[in-house]
Amino acid sequence: MGGNKIVVYKEPGVVSVEDHDPPKLEVPADVAKAKGLTQKAPHGVILRNVATNICGSDQHMVRGRTTAPPGQTLGHEIMGEIIEKGDDVQFLEVGDICSVPFNIACGRCRNCKEGQTGVCLNVNPARAGSAYGYVDMGGWEGGQAQYVMVPFADFNLLKIPDREQALEKVLDLTMLSDIFPTGYHGAYTAGVTTGSTVYVAGAGPVGLAAAYSAQLLGAAAVIVGDRNADRLAQARSFGCETVDITEDASLEDQIAEILGIPEVDSAVDAVGFEASAPGKNAGEAPATVLNSIMSITRAGGKLGIPGLYVTGDPGAPDEDAKTGTLKVRLGLGWAKSHSFTTGQCPVMKYNRQLMMSILHDKAHIADAVNATVIPLDDAPRGYEEFDRGAARKYVLDPNGMIPKAS
C-alpha cells in the first residue's frame, strides 16, 4: 500500500481528489482522548475499497449546506477487501470482502447492545452517532478513497460469504452500506406491509431505494413524488406510480387520481431539509415534505423519515431553519395519531437480510437506482452531475476492481 487517493470537500460546489497518507490502525485522536480509548486500534482493519458511492448526504456538505470545514474528507458508503487486520480481529481474514455500515459503532455501549448502532455512544465526542467522512461525526476519514480504516471490525463488518459472488454482484452489494438499508428502514418504520399503499417523497437514490423496498415488503401501490422528470421516469422503470409536484394539481388530488382516495396508509420522507415547496417556481421550504406527508397519510398511519435533517445549516432560508428549527404542523400529526421514526438508519438491523436477498436474486437494487460506475478520479464530475439532478447512483471504482468483476 502506497499513498491513498481520497475525495475532499474544498468549498461550496468544489471537491477534489487528493493524495493522503495511507490509513493506519488508529482511531482519531479526538475520539480517543474524549472517550478514553487507546488510539491504537487492534480491533480494526484496513480495506482496499472495491466500491464506494456518492450519497445525497455528501451532496449537502458539498453544496455548503452544513458546517463542514474545507478539507473535510468524504464518503461513507463503502465495500472493500481486507488487506490488513489488527491483532484483536478474531473472525475476519485478509482477503475477505465486506460491506461497511456507514454507522461507526463500538458494539459495546448500551445503544449498540440494544441494536441502535446509529447512535453509538463511544465513537464521537460531539454527540451520539458517527459515520465515515462526515461533518460533526467524530473526525473519521472518508471512504471515497482507495483505502479506509474500519474500527471494531468484528462487530461492524458484514462479510460477503463468497468472493466470486461478491464481485459478480458488486453493484447491488455496494448499496448495503447505506441506501438500501436506509430506504428499507424508511419503508419498514412507515409500516409498509402486504397490500398497503405508500407515498415516497423524493426520487433520489434513497427515495428509489425506499420505493423498491416498499415493493419487497408487499405494498399494493407505491407512489413516488418529485420535481425531476428523469428521476420520476426511473421510479416508473420498476413499477412505481409517480406524481410531479411541480404540477398545479395538489398532491392529494394526484394521489386520488391513482388510488381513488386522497390518502395513503404510509409515507416516507426521502428528501430532508433541502426541500422545495410544490409548484414550478417554488422556493425552498424545509418543512414542506414533513407537512405534506402528514396531510396525505391516513389517521393512524406511520411516517418513516430517513431524509436528512441537520442542526446547522448556514444556507437555510430563515434564521430558525439554520439551527434545524422547522415549522412542522405537529398538531396535525398528533390529531391523526401518526407515528414518526427519524434518525440514522441502524444499518446492521437490515443489511444481512438484504444481502441474502441480493445473493439469491430476490433484490436488484442497482437497477432500481440506476447504478453508474465512474473512476475515483472522476468524483468531481459525479458530484456535479448528481447536483444537477442526474437520475443515477454514482459508484466510484477506486482500485479498478469493478471492471474486473464484470
Q: How confident is the model at residue 403 (pLDDT cuts 50, 70, 90)?
A: low
Mean pLDDT of 386-392: 97
Q: What angle do CA 290, 292, 293 make, to 5 degrees?
A: 70
Q: Cβ of 290: how many Cβ atoms within 10 Å? A: 28
Mean pLDDT of 297-304: 98
pLDDT at residue 404, rounded to an integer: 56
Percent pLDDT > 70 in the chain is: 99
The C-alpha R_g of the chain, in whole angstroms, comes to 20
Rounded CA separation 286/327 (Å): 8
Query: What string of H, E and C letters represents the secondary structure of the chain?
Result: CCCEEEEEEEECCEEEEEEECCCCCECCHHHHHHHCCCCECCCCEEEEEEEEECCHHHHHHHCCCCCCCCCCECCCEEEEEEEEECCCCCCCCCCCEEEECCECCCCCCHHHHCCCHHHCCCCCCCCCCCECCCCCCCCCCCCCECEEEECCHHHHCEECCCHHHHHHCHHHHHHHHCHHHHHHHHHHHCCCCCCCEEEEECCCHHHHHHHHHHHHCCCCEEEEEECCHHHHHHHHCCCCEEEECCCCCCHHHHHHHHHCCCCEEEEEECCCCCCECCCCCCCECCCHHHHHHHHHEEEEEEEEECCCCCCCCCCCCCCCHHHCCCCCCHHHHHHCCCEEEECCCCHHHCHHHHHHHHHCCCCCHHHHCCEEEEEHHHHHHHHHHHHCCCCCEEEEECCCHHHHHC
Please say if the pLDDT value at position 405 is more than 70: no
Task: From residue 332, give the alpha-carbon distance in Å to each of 200, 252, 291, 294, 339.
Answer: 19, 16, 8, 7, 12
Rounded CA separation 267/341 (Å): 11
pLDDT in tens, 29-42: 999 999 999 999 99
Task: Tell me the average pLDDT of the chain.
Answer: 97
Rounded CA separation 47/187 (Å): 31
Rounded CA separation 27/41 (Å): 6
pLDDT in tens, 72-99: 999 999 999 999 999 999 999 999 999 9
pLDDT at residue 281, rounded to an integer: 86
pLDDT at residue 331, rounded to an integer: 97
Rounded CA separation 145/38 (Å): 25
Rounded CA separation 331/319 (Å): 22
User: Under 8 Å CB-to-CB from 194, ≥6 apart: which residues?
Assistant: 217, 218, 219, 220
pLDDT in tens, 103-128: 999 999 999 999 999 999 999 999 99
Nine-digit cell at 396?
Answer: 466510484
Rounded CA separation 44/307 (Å): 30
Q: Cβ of 113: how many Cβ atoms within 10 Å? A: 11
pLDDT in tens, 172-218: 999 999 999 999 999 999 999 999 999 999 999 999 999 999 999 99
Strand-pair partners of 149: 46
Structural domains of the chain ordered from first start: 4-178+346-405 (3.90.180.10), 179-342 (3.40.50.720)
Q: In what order do the strands lie in the sheet with 197-201?
A: 241-244, 221-226, 197-201, 264-269, 297-305, 339-342
Q: How confident is the model at residue 406 (pLDDT cuts 50, 70, 90)?
A: very low
Nearest CA to 178 out of 209, 144, 138 is that of 209
- Residue identified by cell 399503499 is 197
Q: Are 223 and 198 in contact (CB under 8 A)?
A: yes
Mean pLDDT of 146-165: 97
